[in-house]
Amino acid sequence: MVERRDLEAQRVTRAISRLVLRRLAFAVPVLVIVALGVFLLASASPFDPIDQYFGVRLFTASAADVARVRAELGLDRPVLEQFWQWFSGVLTGDLGISRSLRQPVAQVVAERLPWTALLAATGLALAVLFALIGGTVAAWRQGGAVDRLITAAGHALEGVPPFVLALLSIAVFSLGLGWLPVAGLTDAGQDVSFGQVAEHLALPALVLGVSQTPWLVLHVRQSMLGSLAEDHVTGARARGLAERVVVLRHALPTALLPFVTLIGARIPELVTGTVLVEEVFSWPGLAGAVVTAASAVDYPLLAMVTLVATAAVLLGSLLADVAAILLDPRVAADG
């Protein structure tokens, strides 16, 4: 028996290893294509990076000064040449300089990415918690008042954008009740501390979690209804087990596999929601850099932030597939 378990563990490990290697091989060309696409789209933008670089000084700058700066920034060269210069720098560890923020791109990402990751992870954790509790209770009480309430709320929230939820939550919990701060990472003049960050994180994370919950909770409910009708659940009930044990120990584990897969598919929506929530709450993440880089046609910063978002989507999909294999080794790791 022990040898059989060891062989099964080895098989699962090999399947996961092959999956990871395939996904890594797939991720490299995807990231290159995405970066090239960012440069091509930015070059077609009606915005001129020189306008953002000079600001109001552009009205007093001479044509010679504008041409000199354009040449120094490499904006007078073809877009493919600019892309190759940036890409070759990335390969050597040089991410370039952000023209709009006047900082190295590596510094911008290093300072802002942890706050974005904190908000996204907290929001996702809340969405998963809400979905598992709400979906399980709704399926358990199918047709009852709680089921109808949860289902109606899920369908209603599907069409509400995250920024609308954010504005409503600010109006109610910050301006109306005064329970939570409106925006920022800390109160004015306060140092960054666990208490300050937790207090300012609560509302944006809650908004992000609620905005991601509708699809998850409806999916959990549907999966639970299917699980509750399966033979092994019927057999557990026939053996006289308590209904709570039947639901939580027999039906819920079966419903988790498709739920984990759905979480991986929802990562792009999570990234988009995070950007919108960050902007509304002035959270010091990458969202502000995205907006600034896009309006200023800041090639190095825009490309790197886009690559970070793409990598997050690819990593989320990979982790979801790995979790699915661990939950059910019969799942084929088809990559």
Q: Which residue has the higher pLDDT, 122 or 258?
A: 122
Indicate if the pLDDT at residue 335 is higher than 50.
Answer: no
Return the pLDDT at 178. Answer: 81
Q: What is the CA radius of gyration of the chain?
A: 25
The overall average pLDDT reported for the chain is 80
Query: If you search the block for the tokens 């001129």, which residue do you land on?
Result: 48
For the chain, list the strands marked E by DSSP. 97-98, 103-104
Helix (H) or strand (E) holding 222: helix 194-228
User: Tokens in use for 143?
Assistant: 């047709």
Mean pLDDT, residues 135-158: 85
Return the pLDDT at 122. Answer: 92
Return the pLDDT at 66. Answer: 67
pLDDT per residue as tens digits for the range 278-318: 888 888 888 878 777 777 777 788 888 888 888 888 888 88
Number of H helices and number of E strands within the chain? 14, 2
Q: Which residue has the higher pLDDT, 133 or 323?
A: 133
Return the pLDDT at 126. Answer: 93
Q: Find how far residue 34's CA is from the centre of its chain.
A: 17
What percent of the chain shows pLDDT beyond 90? 4
Return the pLDDT at 47. Answer: 67
| Contact indicator for 297, 47 with CB cutoff of 8 Å | yes
Indicate if the pLDDT at residue 217 is higher than 70.
Answer: yes
Q: What is the pTM of this model?
A: 0.79
pLDDT per residue as tens digits for the range 60-114: 666 776 677 667 666 667 778 878 878 888 888 778 788 777 788 888 888 888 9
Distance CA 100, CA 302 (A): 10
Return the pLDDT at 328. Answer: 64
Mean pLDDT, residues 149-161: 85
Query: Residue 244: which pLDDT band, with cuts at 50, 70 and 90?
Result: confident
Indicate if the pLDDT at residue 330 is higher than 60.
Answer: no
pLDDT per residue as tens digits for the range 247-283: 777 777 777 777 877 787 778 888 888 888 888 888 8
Q: What is the 3-state secondary structure (H, E, C) of 271-320?
A: HHHHHHHHHHHCCCCHHHHHHHHHHHCCHHHHHHHHHHHHHHHHHHHHHH
Mean pLDDT, residues 124-139: 89
Distance CA 105, CA 37 (A): 19
User: What number of CA atoms fall less than 13 Å from residue 316's CA on the CB side?
Assistant: 22
